[in-house]
Structure formats: C-alpha cells, structure tokens
Structure 1
Amino acid sequence: MIIEEKLIVNSDKGNLLNELSRSILECERFYFSVAFINFSGLQLLLDSFKEAEKRGIKGKIITSTYLNFTEAKALRKIKDFEHIELKVFVTDKEIGFHTKAYIFEYVDHYKVFIGSSNLTQSALKSNIEWNVKIMTKEDTHFIKEVLSEYNHLWERSAEADEDFLKRYEDFLSKLTAITTKQNLIYENTDYIIPNRMQKRAMENLERLRSFGESKALVIAATGTGKTYMSAFDVKNFRPRRLLFIVHREEILKKAKETFEKLIVNEAKTFGLLTGNHKQKHPDYVFTTIQSLTRCYQEFRKDEFDYIIFDEAHHATSPSYEAVLNYFEPDFTLGMTATPERSDNHNVFALFDNNVAIEVRLHEALDDELIIPFHYFGITDIDGIDLSDVDIDNIAEVTKRLKVNERVDFIIENLNFYGNDGKKRKCLGFCASVDHAHYMAEEFNKRGYSSVALSGANSVDQRSYFIKRLENDEDELEVIFTVDIFNEGVDIPSVNSVLMLRPTNSPIVFIQQLGRGLRKHESKSFLTVLDFIGNHNKAFLIALALNGSRYYDKESLKVAIATDFANIPGCTHIQMDRISQERILEQIDNENFNSMKYLKEEYFEFKKMNQGHIPYLLLDYLMFDGAPDPIKFIQKEKTYLKFLSKVEKDDYLKGMLTDEAFERALKELSDMLPLKRIYEFVIIKDLMENETISFDRAKIEILKYVSEVYEDSVYHAFESLNHDYFDSVQKKSKLKLVDLENGILRKTVSFSNVLNNLEYRRFIEDIVNYGLFRYEKEFKNTDYGVPHFKLYEQYQMIDAALLSNYRKIHSSFRGSGLLTNGNDYFLFIDLHKEENIKESINYLDKLINESTFQWQTPNSTSQSSERGKNIIFNKARGIQLHLFLRKYKEIDGKVEPYIYIGKGDVFEYEGEKPITVQIELEHKLPGPLYTEFVVKV
C-alpha cells in the first residue's frame, strides 16, 4: 500500500538534500545506490551521518567507478564512519552504472527516492533534477523488488578496502595528468561571451553614454570578472587609444593579456608602462599609477579616448587625482571591489556619481560569478567563555582563546569536514597577531604546517608564503592572519576558511569569507568553519550570512530556522542546534530599533571607516555588510540629526539651527528610500539650474529608467509643489520649488540653502544616495502606473504617490482597503496582535503560494458598488493590489508591507464582511512564502 508519492525538485522551496538529511536521522537503516559521489555532495551529509552514528542508525552505500566521476577522497571519508558499509561497482566498457536511489527503512514502512540526483552539491541543491519519493508499507511488491535489486548489486560490488582505494587513487592521478595535457587546446576568442553581470554593466554604461555622461563606476566583488567586463566594453566602444591604470604591477600583465585575448583582428597594439617597460606609444597602454605619475604630462590631455582606473577606491589619493584632472578622455571608467577609501574623500563624486552596476557577495553567488561556500557554524568548546568580555578588548579576547583544548577541537573539525581539492589551502582569521602566532605554533606542534602573517610582515614575506600555500607540492597548509583580508591580497586557490575570532562586524565577516570565493580550477566550493562562542553579538553572523541590508527581527529568525534557504545555488549554511538556539535567543532579546543598538551599529561602522565620522549617506555604500542608514534617518528624521546626537557634535548641532536647511533635509530625507525616481532626478537638475521644464524633466528621467509616463511627471511636479501635503507637512518641510505655468522654479529659500557650500554638500549627498539606491533596487525597469515592484517594501502612503493620487496623500492610511479609481489597494496584517479586539473578524491568510483568502471591511455588502467591484473585479476592470506584512509592529516600529502583486477573486461568500478567495497573478517565491507563514 502506497502511503505517499511526491516529486522532489531543487527549488527555492526545498531540495533533495533537505529530504535526505531528515530521512537519515528518522529511519532505522538506510541504503544508497548512486553512480557518482563527489566530496562536494558528501560534505553536506557529514553531520547527518555523524548524528546517525550516535543514534545507532546503520547504512549501506553502493557507488561506482563509472566514467571515473566518483572521487577517491569521498570514498575514504565514508570509510571513516563505522556504521556505514561501502562497496563500489566496478564498471567496464560494456556495462555502465547509473542508479540514483536512496532507500530508508522504518519500523513498519519504507521511504524510497529514485530519480536523477547523484551525491554532488549541485545534484542535491541546485541542478534541475527529478526525484520521486515513494512511501509504502514493507510488504508491497515494489519494495520487495527494490530491495532484491539492491541486494543483487551489493553482491556484485567490490569491497572498498584499502587495496581497492589505493589502486583507484593511483588510476585517477594518472588520468588527471593525461587529461590536463589534453585540455591545453587553442581557445577561440569568439566563444568568450559576457556573463550576466558584465552584460548588465555594459548595457548601463552604454545608456549613460547615450545621455552624454562621460564617467562611471563599476562596483563588483573580487573574482566576478571586472577586467573582462571592461575589455568587452572597450571592444564595443572602439577607442583609438586606451589607458589602463592599476595600483599594483602584479595584476597589470594579466589585465593586458585579457584585452589581447578579447580584442583581436583590430590592428591594435598593446604595451606596458612600468618600472621595467617604457612602452608609451602602443594604442592601448597598461600602466601603474607610480610609473604614470612620473610622465603623464608627456602625453596630450586628449591623448586617450578611454581611461580605466582599476582599484578605483585609490583614485581619491593625490597621485590619482592629478592624473584624473589632467586627462580629457571621451570616457572614464572606475572599477573596484568595494568603494572603500583610505582618506576622507568620496570616490563616487570622482565618477560623477554614476554607478553602472553594483554586485555584492550574494548577487555574485546568484550570478555564479564566484564559487559556492559550505558554511558550518560550530559551537565553541565549553572552556571558552566570552559572555562577560568586551569584544573590542583584544588582549582579553586573545587570552581567553589561547586554549590548547580549543586547538585540538579546531583540528578535529578541520579533519572531519575536510576540503575540496588535493591539498588543504586554508586561511585562519584570528583575534590578534598574538593569537595568530599562537595558532600557527600549536598547529605546527601537531604536524600541520602553518605560518602566521600580518601587516607587520613585508610584502615579499607575504608573497613567499602565499606562493607556498598555493603550491600543491609544498607542505604549508594554513596561514593564520588578522588582516590578510585587506585589499591587495588575493589567493584564488584557497579552499578552506577558519573563523577563529568572535564576529563583531558583518563587514569584516564578509571580507574574510570573500577571500576564498574566487573561482579556481582546483576547487568547486569553499569550506568555512566558524567557531561560535557565547559572546553577546554572535547574532551578527546571521546578519552577514543573510545577505540583506534591509532586515527585521522576524525575517532573520526565519532565515536561521530554515538554514538560510534563501541563499542561492549550491551554497550551504548550517549551524548546529546550540548555536542556532543561542543566536535566536540573542535576536529575541535585541531591539534592532533602539537607540542603544543603532549607536552600537553606527560606531562599529565608524571603526571600519578608519575612525572617520561618516558624514555622508554615500559612505555606507563603501562596504558589503554596512548598516542601512535609513534606520538612522527614521530614528531622528534626518541623518545629520542622528549624527549630531550620537557624536555630540557641536558643529552639526550648529548647522541644524538653520531652520531652512533642517527643513530641506527633512523634505528630502522623508522621501528615502525612493520608490519613484522622478522627484529626485528633478531636484538634481534644479541644483544646477534655476528652472526645469516638463520636456527637460522627461529627458533627465530617461537617463535612469527605460520608460517615462507623462502623467507621472506632472504628478511629480505637483508633489514637489506640495499640492498633496497636509498642514503639518507644509509646516515641517521646506518648499524647494514653485510650480508656475508648467515650469518648476527653485524657491528663494532653497537657493539660499544651496548657496551655502557646506549645506549643499549634504543636500547633494541625500540626492545622490537616493538615486544610487533606487538604481540598485529597481534598476531601469518600467513598472508602469501604479509604479509597484513585486516583493518590494511599501508603506500605505507610498500607494498614493505611486498611483498618482490627486488628493491629500496622508489621508491614504488607516484602512485595510484604499482606492484610487480602478486601483484597489489591500493592506493586510497576517498575524494580529493578541488581546486586542479588532472591529473585523479577520480570516486573512495565505492558503498556498498562489491563493489568498481576504475579508473585506465589515461594512461591505455584496450588493454595494464596492462589493461588486471586489467580487467581480476582473469583469469590471478593477485591479486588486495585495500588500502583506507579517506583523504590524516589531520592536515598537511600524513594519512596511510587501507588495505581492495583483490578484483576481474566483470565489466569495458572506456579507459584511465578504470572504473572498483571490488567485494571485504571481506565485509567491518559496522563501517569501516561508517567511510569511512560519512562526519562530
């Protein structure tokens, strides 16, 4: 008798790995028969196998040598588990072996998965795979056949003993040597095509140039292909002469080779201008800033049509600025992994605040620009107590971490989880230089060749040990460090990272993680072991891993409870039960909206900013993992007000005594984060001009978006003119413009504010930050009218603005149903506060990913016009827009709604209220559905 049948596919709702992990721990015995086992897939099941061993659950695994895909190191790892028997079906030319079956025996039934997935990370997590799950009683014909066939294969397969493993390893190593030589074939440049990031960047660069812009910045994580992107763009641009400028000579030759590979048959010459090469006359010159500084005035100002600044965050230094100001190219491109700067200047301004693209860690994972990582959060040993220590007290933290028992625990886990690749190439991030030296010394004592490196070591010393680590034949396995994650160090073949210090900054955590994510032929994933202690900021790990700058307590808890199911691809994040519970408890006890928390977040960021006060909102774009400054604005109405409070800064307090300036800040800050770009584009133009016409506004807006709606431009003019403000809003905010005969003119008050250069700097910052963040979140996509993006966050009042509502906008609140013509906006709280008597008997809920049940306001009858418009919305041309939020408030702050798209009523019943079933136009993504329905 069949109990259950189900198709298992890898999607954002689940994957085969989850099914197998759960089944291993629930069953009495398990039996696998899979053609291929790679270490990438096996590592994801190691903890399940270990727990099964503790519980006395035994298993058998059959795999094969078919096509030589099974890895010998995976077989050796399975052999470490005494409760698992392992056999290998040795194939020949006549007989292949292609089974993918996972059988689980329970007390009175069996569960069987049969389909397409082998034991590899992609097959278990991300590939398009079909696997059928069948649960059936033990006495069925099907189960008898499956077990009979399994036993038959078991008898035909060879014992995976030491002799077999040695022979198989020798065979694979010889095979690797042969195939490596055979793979050295000519590469046709026509087949090198741009990846998704490169295409988006090139499209945006072309769009910016088409509107007369001559500078742009590209921000993308290390290893994502910025140099190739620039070469593709140069190929399209076809400059007569090119200048490519870098900070470090070692990457210059690679850049030149990339361009030579892509730009062929175009009669271009390529040359190096360095300390050893003085080639100034080739068409395309590749130079270091140090060499160029000595001779740039020998070139004409318009000598180069296209100039590229690699590592553009250095461009704020005097040597770079001199070069930047001297040359007059048609186009200048800046490229950087992070727009961090080493002084107090703004790199964005150098490139006219035009950011062609920004690709941070989680987007790079999504676009497969970097390798996936397998993160294991491991509870630190009991002997390490950091609960009562200030994490910034480095000496005390170091003292408490220097425990021999902890070293043994780290090595035990390092060996248990293993790594991809032939040799372990590991970076261990420590709390201090002293801690790094201690770890290296203790590892060496235990036979693991290690070294400690820090900023105190010379560049030559660091290069020497990095080359040793990268050499497969060298015995060096681990580099312990404090600051090797800083710009300027790149070790592509690193396959393991140890997090050995308490995390007190998501920024640092992401930087350290990023050191191992560059693609390299020797690895398919990065192993990350994080030893999580009991310090009171352990939850910051979750912030870093979650990958969203815009989070709330609830979404974070769901992410942790679901092992970060929202992370794309083969990346795997797993915390042990104690760490999970500890972090969830900390999140429950933390108020992310309290001034205390916001101050801690701010000062940690200031520390990353080299101690400089981050006066500008744009400063928060420098680092992946930086806090969201909108939270600071929402706390105090303007960022400068927040800054003046936390810094106790008299200079800022003095500026804010200027009423016009403070009201201008409030007017602009209240629009952040932008949901429509029109107003800020208009303001940006008015900062340079006294007036702006409707036609010029359209042209300026088209620089940012693919389509402009005339009525929305008129509405933006009216909104800026305060046509839809109530009396309180008019009083608290400065009127920046006057609307006369269809022309917007700067007010005298706003002109006076802008004439003060110090005030102007902060106004420009808000405008540029708003535009940049809009481009990042909405890109140049046309969302129509109403201007809603699926799964974006909105407040009720946003719907008034974005649907061109022509009455007082602040009236757009207080009801679950708001209307503007044929647009009906449903604002719904899924979980109502307890002990509060609602005027409505709520039955609002998600039935599934495609269906929502909603109750109209109590006064709505089926015979009323509003009732008919709702229940017959499709026939009557009424658009029902659904906005959901899980809770009305979290930590005392009103939560935004999430737009889940339009829907049509297909079923209804009842009177005052009417209960309707709505079919959603767009099926909810798995992670978002989970977040809405799961209560942690």
Structure 2
Amino acid sequence: MTRPFRFEKGESTVEILKNAILNGLYDQHYRGHELLAPALLDNQFGDQLWLSLRRELLICRGFTWAVAFITPNMLVPFKVVMADLAAKGVAGTIITGDYLGFNSPTVFAELLKIPNLTVRIAQSAGFHAKGYLFDHDGYQTAYIGSANFTRSALLKNTEWVLRVSSATDAALTAQVERQLTVLNQTSQLLDDHWLADYQARWVPPVHPAAKRVQSSLITPNAMQTAALRELHALVAAGEHRGLVVSATGTGKTYLGAFAVKDFRPRRFLYVVHREQIARKSLTSFQRVIGGPASDYGMLTGGRHDWNAKYLFATVQTLSQPEVIKRLGPVAFDYILIDEAHRVAAPSYQRVLDHFQPQFWLGMTATPDRPDNQDVYAAFDYHLAYEIRLQDALEAGMLAPFHYVGVQDYVTPAGELIDDTASLHRLVASERVRYVLDQLDYYGYCGQQPRGLVFCSRQEEAHELAAKFSAAGHPAVALTNTDSPTRRRTAVDRLEAGKLEYIITVDLFNEGIDIPSLNQIVMLRNTQSAIVFLQQLGRGLRKYPGKDYVTVLDFIGNYKNNYLIPLALNHDTSRDVDSAQAETRLPGIIGVSTINFNRVATAQILTSLAQTKLDSMRALRQSYQELKNKIGRVPYLYDFYRYGSTAPQVFANNPRLAHYGSFLVKMGEAVTLSSYDNRVLSFVTKELLNGKRPHELLLLDELLNYGTCSLTHLRERWRAVGAYDTPAVRQSVADILTLSFFDVKAGKETKKARYGGRPLLVTTPDGYQWNAQLADDLGSNPEFYRLMTDAVTTGLTLSHNYDPGQMFTPGHRYDRRDVCRLLNWPLDVSAPMYGYRVADGECPIFITYHKKDTDQRNAVYNNELRDGQSLRWYTRSPRHLDSPEVQQLLAGVGTDQPAVTLRLFVKRSDAAGKQFYYLGTAKIAPGSVREELLGPKEKAAVGMDLVLDRPLTPRMYELLFD
C-alpha cells in the first residue's frame, strides 16, 4: 500500500520545499525532491499523467479538483482508488460543470456513487478549468495544465501539466485556495434533483469523428498487412501449411479473406465447428473478395452447395464418410481451418488426412491449450504471425477494458469467501448483495449492463441467476446441459436488453460472439492463464457505442491468485520480481488499465510468496509447450524469441549447471566432457545475463573465427557503444582467464568449478581459445551449439542495458555482478554484505523493509528522507576517525569526492539476491554523525546519501512504499 511522504523529525519542511523549488525553478544542482520539485509532466515514456495523480491520491489527506471535462471511461480506475481511500477515511471534492454539454448525465450519475466524494457544479459560464490540488501533511501539491479528467488526456494525448508543491502558507497555495473557495461558494452541490434536470435538457455534443462517412471499402490494418506478408513468404518458399494466431476481435476472419484473395485459389474450402460462424464468415469473405453470390456456398446439415467456388463447411458435415468421399483429395487448392486449436479432434483429423490442397491455413486465438493438444504440429510448426491481446489493445483493434481486482465477500466472522466454500455461502444473500453493489459501483459503458458472469458450479449459476433476477437484475444461467437453441435465445435476449446477465460455468470461454457485452464478471478461481484470457476476451470485441469494458474479478483466498497479473501482462518470464512489480503497480496497456485494490494486492502477493514460478516442474512444462510450438528442441534463444520463460531463469536455477544439463533432464541426448560442462556452466552462470557485453563480444568472435585481435575487439565494443578503458580490458581478461574467480567457494574455488584453466590464451595480436577448448568446439557440435546459444542469448539480453556505463539505473544486479562490473580483480561478493570501499568505489546494498527487527541489519534505519536521500550507516564499530570512514569522507562537499558511492536497493529479502541500481550518490555535508546503534549501543557513522539522479515515481512506489 502506498504510504504518505513524511518529513523526518528535526527536518525543516520549509527547507525541503525550498530546495525542491530552487532545484526546479532556479538551479538543478540544489538538492531537489522527485515528488516535490516543480516538474512538467506528460504522457510520454510510459509515465502517464494518471499514474502521478493516482499516487497523489493514495498519499494525500484530502483533495480538491477543478476540472471541466470528465469522461466515464476514466472513472473505473478512479473508483478503485477512492474505495481504498474510503477505508482510510480520506475524502475529496471535484468541482466540474456542464460547459458545452461535454459531461454526460452518466458521468454525474457515476460520480454520485462514490461515497467519499463531494461533487459541485460550477455556475460560471464557460467553466474550463483543469487543476488538481492535493492536501498533504505540511504541504500541498497542485497539478495545473491542459489535462481534463478524461482517458485520452490522462493516458494517451500529448498534454502539458505543471506540478508544483508549496508550504501551506505560501502565496501560490493561498492563491489557488482563494480560487477554489470562490468556486465552492458559487457552485451548486450535485444531487439527484440537479441531475434529473440536466438529463432532461442535455443534448449530446456532436464530435467531429461522428460526422465522418465510413468507406465501404475494406482494407487490411497494419497487423493484418504484416501477417499477409508473412503468409505470402511462406507460400513463396514452397511451404504448404501455416498458422496465424490472432486474438479474438482482431479481424481474424477478414485476415483469412485477405489471404485467400491474395492466393487466388481455383476453389477454396473454409472449415469450422459451428454453422453460425460459417455463415458469418461467408458474408465477410464475400465483402472482401467480391464476385457473384453464386460463387459462395454452404456445406452444412441442411445445405449442400457442392459446386461453390468458395465453400463454407461445418466439420461435422464435412467429415462424414459419404460427404468427404464425394469431394476428391485435390478438390480445393486452399483450405482454411478456423478455430484451429480443435484440429486434434477425430473429425478434423479425417479432413486433414483426406484433402491435399496447395496450402492449409490454420487460424486460432488460443493455440496454447491447457489439454496439451499440439496445434502447431498440424501446420508443420510454421507460425506465420501472432496478434496477441496486448498488441491488439495497443493498436486499438479491441475495445479497451478496465480490469478491477477486488476481494471477494468477507463474512461477519471474518472469513474470505472463495469458490471452494460451501454452496450456501457462495449464494448467500449477503454475498449476492455485495457482488451486486460492486457491479453497480464500478459500472459499465452504456445504458444498461450486458454482463457475462463466470462461476464455478452449475448449482451456483442457477441460484445466482435467480437471486440476481429477484434483486431487479434479470439474469439467466447457462451450462453445458443447455441446448444450443436455449443458449442462442439467451444471447439474443441479452443483446436486446431483456436480460442484464448471463451466468455460466466455463461455457462461453470460446466460440461465442456477444459484441455488446460491457461487463465481464469473474466469480471463480483462476486455474489457468489461458482460460482467464479466453474469458476476458469475450468482452473485447468492438461494438457501436461501447467505449470500454468493465472487468470485475472477485479474488478469494486461493493459491492461484498470482496468475492474474501474469495473464493480464502476458508475462511468461517466471521472474518473481517482475510478477511482484506487476501486482504492486497499476498496469496500462494502450488505454486499458489494470487495477487491484489494497486487499486484493495483498492476497496476490501472499500467493506469489507461496509459489515457485521457476520450479523444475514449471520449466519442464514451459519447455514442452515451446517444443510443441516450434517442432524441435528449443534452445535458450528460442525462449527469448517466442516470449516464453526468461532465459535467465534457467541460468539462475541452482539445480542446473547450464541449459545442456536441463536438456538431459528432458531426455535429450547431450554428450559433453567434464571440462566442457564446467566451461558452459561458467558462460551460463556468469555472462548470459548480458549485464555487460564486453566478454560476450569476445566469445562471439572466438566462436566464429577462433581468434580475435585486440584492435578488432575494441572496434566491436565501439560499434555497440560500449565503454572502453584499460580497467575494463584487464577485467575482461581476468574474467575469461578465470583469475577473477580464484576465491574459495565451498570445497573448491570457483575457478576450479569453472574448469580451472583460462578459456583463452593471449597472442601477440590478441586472443584465441585454449587448445582443449578449440579442439572440443571443433569436434563436438552439441557443445558448439550450446556455447553459441548461450553467447547469442547473452548478447541479445545485453540490449536491455546501457553499454556506455557500468550500471544501468533501474535495473537489477547482485553483489557478484557488481564486483565484476566494477572491474575488481577478484570476486569478493561473499564477504561484502552491506558495502565495500576499494579502488575509489563503494557499492552500498540496502534492504529497505526489514523482516525482523532483531536482524543485524535492522538496527540500521535506512530511512528515505526526501525522495532523493537515504540515511545510511557504516558497519559497527566505526568512528569518525576510522580509516574506512576517512576514505568515504575524503572530498565530501567538493565536485570530486575521493570515493564514488553507488546505491543498490531492494524492497525486502523476499526480492531475492538482486538489488535495483538507483545511481550514484554523494554524502551531504553536515549530515555525518557518529551514533550509537542497537541494543548494545555500538558506534557507527551515519550520513545522508543524496542521489545524483532523483527517483522516478514508479521506482519510489516499487521500492519504498
């Protein structure tokens, strides 16, 4: 939970604010504060304005906004924050108006639902203000600029907003408060009476976009164009099969029609499992391809257009022996199988075995099946193109969504309901009322709800439908026992507005098209990320007037909570730290938002702490899925290329020496000598992370040519922008000769663990492999491939880092990385603990949230004081005249201190061994004091470390809140 910023005891609020203002408005060398200094904000570089406003809301003790225009599509994430503030007793005021009729009656109705919000209607003509004022302890912050409270303004548009903080008695604050006081006095309280009057006189404004006349010509969008290019290349290469993965609602049918039009087949066959889909697809193909209606026909139970040029068939009819026999093996030169994830079924297999077209095209939104069907094999592992959900949202191909993760109902006894609870608890009147209250509070886009509710049990679905209906929300339950006719009738009634909700048990995960859906409600355990995305996707198809979809997920106390942020962010990396960050911080995909309330966040983090994302079982599953996808043994670079498990996860696994040893566990034949195993382990464990490209570039040269001159190596460094100093040249030599690792590591040195001898030898001109490595790489193709894969993957991962400096701010490093990247001659990470002073460098490692107050490091209160400095202490016993302290203090207050301080911070011990690099820091003159710490009152020296590069709000929230 985000905590309010508080000034340290004894610190002057005035001094901190004065320095922040001077930093922003006079001289950037003043000790500024990232969260208090004046700043110009926009929506660039993933730092949307909404994230700044959200943070201010979470730490404020009250707020007043004067904002002219508000849109319903920004109110859902706002309501999530307001619900958390209500639990803390924090309230606010919004002053808005009816200027130009921009604000719809829906906006005012939704604002009235927020209990801790007062809304006032400005009476002045032409009210067009755009200002946000937040009250904090001892100061206030104002955001003033061009941004209204609309989705486009806060998430997408180019906006300029000035943020200024000042003491409560400052002239600027007084001026802003006077303006707000006048607005308050001259405004009218929003109530039901005013809203009814406004509703009666409101005329929707006509937006320029509404006047445009849409062309009847259908042309491919950018993603469809890219997919068509790949399909054309497959055909040109003489391949006969290809698969396109296209998220639901992204124009998959039109893409297929464009592909067929491009191929110009003599005859074409379209195969799908439902007649309704076949009929709709026929219409779409005819719109794209054109030609007489007689060219298009159906092959279904009730219709047999045998001679149609473009034939649309259901697989149930097509696969019947008498039907398929009538159609010869070469009757069609192009066949498209829609919903191709079904191809393992016997009916589809009969079709695939019988026909021999020039090209098979498979199309699906869900190729990765929870039942382990190998969809890719049916199409010769030719994945022509993927249009994933996140890409489609970024491209505006789908309706945006606002996901809200809220905790499920808590009983009076304090028990959190989940879907394993008894039926009478799941359908208890109190729980149903709670669910309906949440649905009403977070709302929907449109005049009435059209919702699809997923629950766990058939009895639950029927009971919920009855209680929803009794409460005035007409609903019907549908399960797999219902006939297709009853299902279609229910969908028609929902689309006609006669029903508000369809409640089902996994029935509509796929194969259902209800474009008008404006709510997706999840009242069940998330067992599978695939199913979760299928259910989410039901509501994302675009529909006239549907500006967004509200997704309400009632999160109970179950072990798979952690799948939710991973699925929403399409994070398959199995990196725990990334998963925690995705849970703590709000997600934004295009103009869609991902929001977890405070309690739901805590539940998911607890679930993550109890889950081993990178277990061997998980890695085996990931391996098999990727092998099925590409049709061969996958290597580390394949995991990177296809967005699967992060290669670093294999490298960091203590049970694996290298990826070759994992292949052995998977039953693959890999033969390596003991020495080759040790060398490959070294490259994997020490270099594959890509945190420095220097060694990898040298190994790449040696793998390709056997030798490399120093001149050519430096040219390669220069080509990628890598820094080049005598120290780094010596460090690279120390690493690759293994002298860096000549330190004790258990029963043997690390040098011995990695082979005991230098990987390379120096020549008068440069470098070459040692004799044994040269021989082994030349004689063992498996070894050569694994080495090349590790080096190639490492070089690819190195693109995530700035090669022009030792460390990239905002990225993670462990102590061993730091020793290597500081060019130290030995790996001294084991005894380093909190810091080490050597060779003019001092890396400092801080764990901010201590788990146990009795731990040794817990006595050092590394308090973040003003957004740019931390109070830090040396180890004890240390005194002001200790040699180590004197080294640290040499040159303090000058432009050239004797020691460069580098600050590495992790949130807690649960984050593992890696620390985020925050940048260099300087000791604040006058802050150095000798103090007695801990119960034994041992002497240590405390000082303020001032970051040279202020924290970003995102990093502040991730590490320190």
* Contact 1:796–1:812 (Cα < 8 Å) also in 2: yes
1:373 maps to a residue whose letter is H
Quick one: structure 1 residues 694 and 183, their matched pair in 2 at CA, closer, same or farther if it must change by over 3 Å? Answer: farther
Quick one: structure 1 residues 254 and 352, their matched pair in 2 at CA, closer, same or farther if it must change by over 3 Å? Answer: same
Q: Secondary structure at the match of 2:653?
A: helix
Identity %, equivalent residues: 21
Q: Equivalent residue for 1:886?
A: 906
Q: Equivalent residue for 2:954?
A: 927
CA-CA distance at 1:337 after TM superposition: 4.1
Quick one: structure 1 residues 21 and 886, their matched pair in 2 at CA, closer, same or farther if it must change by over 3 Å? Answer: closer
- Superposed, 1:739-750 pairs within 5 Å as none
Q: Distance in 2 between matches of 1:189 and 1:889?
A: 56
* Contact 1:310–1:334 (Cα < 8 Å) also in 2: yes
1:514 aligns with 2:537: yes
Listed one character per residue, the Cα deviations across residues 469-507 of structure 1 (whole Å, up to 9, x for unaligned) are: 2x2x42111111121453323433321122222445555
Quick one: structure 1 residues 405 and 198, their matched pair in 2 at CA, closer, same or farther if it must change by over 3 Å? Answer: farther
Quick one: structure 1 residues 496 and 888, their matched pair in 2 at CA, closer, same or farther if it must change by over 3 Å? Answer: closer
More displaced stretch, 789-798 vs 67-76: 789-798
Q: Distance in 2 between matches of 1:621 and 1:627?
A: 6
Q: Distance in 2 between matches of 1:492 and 1:398?
A: 32
Q: Distance in 2 between matches of 1:105 and 1:257?
A: 61
Q: Equivalent residue for 1:222?
A: 248
Q: Distance in 1 between matches of 2:794 and 2:281?
A: 32
Q: Distance in 2 between matches of 1:226 and 1:860?
A: 66
1:378 aligns with 2:411: no
Q: Distance in 1 between matches of 2:874 and 2:231?
A: 48
1:115 maps to a residue whose letter is G
CA-CA distance at 1:75 after TM superposition: 2.0
Q: Secondary structure at the match of 2:330?
A: helix
Q: Equivalent residue for 1:417?
A: 442
Indicate which of 80, 100, 119 corresponds to 1:67.
100
Q: Equivalent residue for 2:932?
A: none
* Contact 1:637–1:669 (Cα < 8 Å) also in 2: no
1:436 aligns with 2:473: no
Q: Equivalent residue for 1:565?
A: 586
Q: Distance in 2 between matches of 1:26 and 1:904?
A: 34
Quick one: structure 1 residues 511 and 410, their matched pair in 2 at CA, closer, same or farther if it must change by over 3 Å? Answer: same
CA-CA distance at 1:369 after TM superposition: 4.8
Q: Equivalent residue for 2:62?
A: 26
Q: Distance in 2 between matches of 1:554 and 1:188?
A: 48
Quick one: structure 1 residues 861 and 144, their matched pair in 2 at CA, closer, same or farther if it must change by over 3 Å? Answer: closer
Indicate which of 348, 352, 363 corresponds to 1:322.
352
- Superposed, 1:298-317 pairs within 5 Å as 298-299=331-332, 311-314=339-342
Q: Secondary structure at the match of 1:186?
A: coil
1:130 aligns with 2:166: no
- Superposed, 1:126-165 pairs within 5 Å as 127=157, 128-130=159-161, 132=163, 136-137=168-169, 140=174, 143-152=177-186, 154=188, 160-161=193-194, 163-165=196-198
2:548 maps to a residue whose letter is F
Q: Secondary structure at the match of 2:103?
A: coil
CA-CA distance at 1:427 after TM superposition: 1.4
Q: Equivalent residue for 1:524?
A: 547
Q: Distance in 2 between matches of 1:872 and 1:211?
A: 63
1:345 aligns with 2:378: no
* Contact 1:374–1:527 (Cα < 8 Å) also in 2: yes
Q: Distance in 2 between matches of 1:205 and 1:788?
A: 42
Indicate which of 428, 433, 442 corresponds to 1:408.
433
More displaced stretch, 618-627 vs 540-549: 618-627
Q: Secondary structure at the match of 1:636?
A: coil
CA-CA distance at 1:67 after TM superposition: 3.5
Quick one: structure 1 residues 607 and 332, their matched pair in 2 at CA, closer, same or farther if it must change by over 3 Å? Answer: closer
Quick one: structure 1 residues 387 and 641, their matched pair in 2 at CA, closer, same or farther if it must change by over 3 Å? Answer: farther
Q: Distance in 2 between matches of 1:461 and 1:769?
A: 56
Q: Distance in 2 between matches of 1:741 and 1:260?
A: 64
Q: Distance in 1 between matches of 2:790 and 2:210?
A: 51
Quick one: structure 1 residues 670 and 325, their matched pair in 2 at CA, closer, same or farther if it must change by over 3 Å? Answer: farther
Listed one character per residue, the Cα deviations across residues 687-742 of structure 1 (whole Å, up to 9, x for unaligned) are: xxxx98889xxxxxxxxxx9999x9xxxx9xx99999997755789xx9xx98999
1:500 maps to a residue whose letter is L
CA-CA distance at 1:114 after TM superposition: 4.3
RMSD over equivalenced CA pairs, Å: 7.4
- Superposed, 1:428-507 pairs within 5 Å as 428-469=453-494, 471=495, 473-507=496-530
TM-score for both structures, normalised by structure 1: 0.64
Q: Secondary structure at the match of 1:298?
A: coil
CA-CA distance at 1:416 after TM superposition: 2.5
* Contact 1:692–1:745 (Cα < 8 Å) also in 2: no
2:100 maps to a residue whose letter is L
Quick one: structure 1 residues 817 and 221, their matched pair in 2 at CA, closer, same or farther if it must change by over 3 Å? Answer: farther
Q: Distance in 1 between matches of 2:950 and 2:233?
A: 32
Quick one: structure 1 residues 767 and 315, their matched pair in 2 at CA, closer, same or farther if it must change by over 3 Å? Answer: farther
1:634 aligns with 2:653: yes
Quick one: structure 1 residues 506 and 532, their matched pair in 2 at CA, closer, same or farther if it must change by over 3 Å? Answer: same
* Contact 1:316–1:343 (Cα < 8 Å) also in 2: no
1:115 aligns with 2:152: no
Q: Secondary structure at the match of 1:516?
A: coil
- Superposed, 1:135-284 pairs within 5 Å as 136-137=168-169, 140=174, 143-152=177-186, 154=188, 160-161=193-194, 163-168=196-201, 171-172=203-204, 183-186=212-215, 194=222, 219=245, 221-224=247-250, 248=272, 249-250=277-278, 252-253=281-282, 256=285, 274-275=298-299
Quick one: structure 1 residues 344 and 532, their matched pair in 2 at CA, closer, same or farther if it must change by over 3 Å? Answer: closer
1:413 maps to a residue whose letter is Q
Quick one: structure 1 residues 485 and 90, their matched pair in 2 at CA, closer, same or farther if it must change by over 3 Å? Answer: farther
Listed one character per residue, the Cα deviations across residues 876-902 of structure 1 (whole Å, up to 9, x for unaligned) are: xxxx998956279548xx53456789x
* Contact 2:509–2:531 (Cα < 8 Å) also in 1: no
Q: Distance in 2 between matches of 1:432 and 1:567?
A: 32
Q: Distance in 1 between matches of 2:752 and 2:910?
A: 27
Indicate which of 90, 100, 114 corresponds to 2:130.
100
Q: Distance in 1 between matches of 2:536 and 2:591?
A: 16
* Contact 1:102–1:114 (Cα < 8 Å) also in 2: yes
* Contact 1:58–1:84 (Cα < 8 Å) also in 2: yes
Gaps of 5+ in 2: 1-12, 22-35, 627-631, 708-718, 725-731, 742-749, 760-767, 876-881, 929-940
CA-CA distance at 1:185 after TM superposition: 3.4
Q: Secondary structure at the match of 2:453?
A: strand
Listed one character per residue, the Cα deviations across residues 756-800 of structure 1 (whole Å, up to 9, x for unaligned) are: xxxxxxx99x9999999998x78x999879999986666677899
* Contact 1:243–1:308 (Cα < 8 Å) also in 2: no
Q: Equivalent residue for 1:700?
A: none
Listed one character per residue, the Cα deviations across residues 263-293 of structure 1 (whole Å, up to 9, x for unaligned) are: xxxx9999757526667768xx988777697
